[in-house]
Amino acid sequence: MYNLVEKRLKPLRFAGLCALGLFLLSVTASATLKSALGADTVSLEIKVPEPVYADETFYITLSVTRDSNVWPFALGYLYLDGSPYDGYGGPFDIAFYSSFTWESVPIAMSLSAGDHTLAFSVEYSDHEPGTATVVRSITVLTRLPSYTVLWLQKPDEPVRAGKMIHLRFSIQDASGSFVQSDDVRIVVEDTNHIPITEATCGRRSDSIRIYTNKEYYRWDWKTEKDLPEGVYSVTVFLNDAELSPPISITIVSKA
């Protein structure tokens, strides 16, 4: 079967590789491309689990959906950061048989921390050759060790809008040692999960202060006088990883 596909699609390879740069779509997980017949389409998708952590194996799947008039055999190519992915760089056979949808077996990957790009390209033919490509961006996170946030000071009663709220907390690792980092930040959200304020470590009055000798962080949140009543969540982050469930602070009207 591969020889038959190879023979019929071989002229498409060079065109398909060149078209990779021409047909790249915006950063999405799927794409649809009309074939030469106008009404027929070929739809591609890259399925990626979330979240993805650095140096940990995860699995992606590729899928193609075609119209009934599209030729039932195609060639696929998979690229990682612009280079053919080992074992799946291509070409690999895509056969539909009696189905209009093809899905790959799970494909194992392990990536370094940071942003990466996957591109899935398919060369197919109905009455004329065609190429479809879909691009997916992946942000690979660094999994932090097991850290615990200990709240040393937080309000237990409702606070009137416009008041200063004093917050103190410590971050400890699995051994109970203090974790000190300038990358600690706090995000406050309303009940609709919309951020209303954020604080990072620094020397300004509205920044998070680190008390190294006493092994804790302090942040003084000066609430606005017109802050709507409601329950607000306060979450501590380190390197964009949520360290623990947020605490809740109830704000009541100043009047």
State the CATH number of the domain containing residue 177: 2.60.40.10
Both 135 and 161 in one domain: the answer is: no
Encoded amino acid at 175, one letter: S
For 222, list phi and psi in degrees, rounded to 5. Answer: -85, 105
Containing domain of residue 117, as a range? 2-141
Q: What does the block give as tokens for 159?
A: 């606070």
- Indicate if the pLDDT at residue 2 is higher than 70: no
Measure the CA–CA gap between 71 and 58, rounded to whole angstroms: 32
pLDDT the model gives residue 11: 38
For 99, list phi and psi in degrees, rounded to 5. Answer: -105, 155
Chain position carrying tokens 């620094």 = 202
Both 178 and 129 in one domain: the answer is: no
- Indicate if the pLDDT at residue 39 is higher than 70: no
pLDDT the model gives residue 71: 67
Output 40 or 192, whichever has higher pLDDT: 192
pLDDT the model gives residue 109: 96
The confidence band for 88, taking pLDDT boundaries of 50, 70 and 90, is: confident
Going by C-alpha positions, the residue among 179, 109, 98, 167 that lies closest to residue 140 is 109
Both 130 and 13 in one domain: the answer is: yes
Q: What does the block give as tokens for 213?
A: 């000798």
- Indicate if the pLDDT at residue 208 is higher than 60: yes
Both 174 and 95 in one domain: the answer is: no
- Indicate if the pLDDT at residue 115 is higher than 50: yes
Both 116 and 195 in one domain: the answer is: no
Lowest mean pLDDT among 9-18, 163-172, 191-200: 9-18
Q: What percent of the chain has pLDDT over 90?
A: 58
* Beta-carbon contacts of residue 157 (< 8 Å; ≥ 6 apart): 250
Measure the CA–CA gap between 177 and 171, rounded to whole angstroms: 8
Instruction: State the chain's mean pLDDT as an integer.
Output: 82
Chain position carrying tokens 């008390």 = 211
The confidence band for 29, taking pLDDT boundaries of 50, 70 and 90, is: very low
Last residue of a domain, one of 141, 167, 190: 141
Last residue of a domain, one of 90, 114, 141: 141
Both 15 and 135 in one domain: the answer is: yes
Both 102 and 125 in one domain: the answer is: yes
Last residue of a domain, one of 89, 122, 141: 141
Mean pLDDT of 35-58: 79
Both 205 and 102 in one domain: the answer is: no
Both 224 and 115 in one domain: the answer is: no
Both 30 and 122 in one domain: the answer is: yes
pLDDT the model gives residue 235: 94
25: exposed, middle or buried (C-beta count within 10 Å: 0-12, 13-18, 19+)? middle
Both 71 and 158 in one domain: the answer is: no
* Beta-carbon contacts of residue 73 (< 8 Å; ≥ 6 apart): 1, 4, 5, 8, 9, 93, 94, 95, 96, 124
How many domains are contained in the chain? 2
Output 24 or 13, whichever has higher pLDDT: 13
Lowest mean pLDDT among 32-36, 69-73, 212-216: 32-36
- Indicate if the pLDDT at residue 158 is higher than 90: yes
Mean pLDDT of 144-169: 93
Both 127 and 168 in one domain: the answer is: no
- Indicate if the pLDDT at residue 26 is higher than 50: no
